[in-house]
C-alpha cells in the first residue's frame, strides 16, 4: 500500500507543476494547426507530377510537423496565461508561419 501511494505521488508531481493557465490548450492548438498544414502538403505530395516533387512536399510536411511539436512545447514551457491574451494574440501564437 505504501508503495502504491509513493507511485501515485510521483505520478501526480508533473500534474502539480502544470500552471493551468490555458497554455496546454494553446500549445495543442498550435500543433494542430501545423499538423493540418502538413496534411495538406501530404495530400499535394500524393498528387505530385514527379517523384522529386513528391519527396520535396513530404519533407516539407515532416518539417511542419516537427515545428508544430516544437511550438507546442515552447508555448507550454512558457507558462503563458492564455486567459490574459486577446484572440488576435492567440491566433498569432498558433498560426502556421
pLDDT, tens only, 28-52: 999 999 999 999 999 999 999 999 9
Instruction: Write the DSSP symbol of residue 37.
Output: H
pTM for this model (two decimals): 0.75
- Note the pLDDT of residue 41: 98
CA neighbours within 13 Å on the CB side: how many for 62? 6
How many residues are listed for the chain in this entry? 97
> What's the grid cell of residue 76?
507550454
Of 65, 71, 95, which Cα lies nearest the Cα of 23? 71
- Note the pLDDT of residue 14: 46
The pair phi, psi for residue 20, each rounded to 5°, is 65, 30
pLDDT of 5 strictly over 60: no
Residues 6+ apart with CB under 8 A from 82: 21, 22, 23, 25, 26, 90
- Structural contact between residues 27 and 68, judged by C-beta atoms closer than 8 angstroms: no
Amino acid at each position: 500500500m505504501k508503495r502504491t501511494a509513493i507511485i501515485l505521488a510521483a505520478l501526480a508531481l508533473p500534474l502539480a507543476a502544470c500552471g493551468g493557465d490555458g497554455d496546454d490548450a494553446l500549445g495543442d492548438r498550435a500543433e494542430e494547426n501545423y499538423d493540418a498544414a502538413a496534411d495538406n502538403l501530404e495530400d499535394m505530395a500524393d498528387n505530385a507530377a514527379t517523384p522529386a516533387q513528391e519527396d520535396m512536399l513530404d519533407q516539407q510536411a515532416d518539417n511542419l510537423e516537427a515545428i508544430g511539436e516544437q511550438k507546442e512545447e515552447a508555448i507550454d514551457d512558457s507558462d503563458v496565461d492564455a486567459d490574459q491574451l486577446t484572440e488576435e494574440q492567440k491566433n498569432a501564437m498558433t498560426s502556421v508561419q
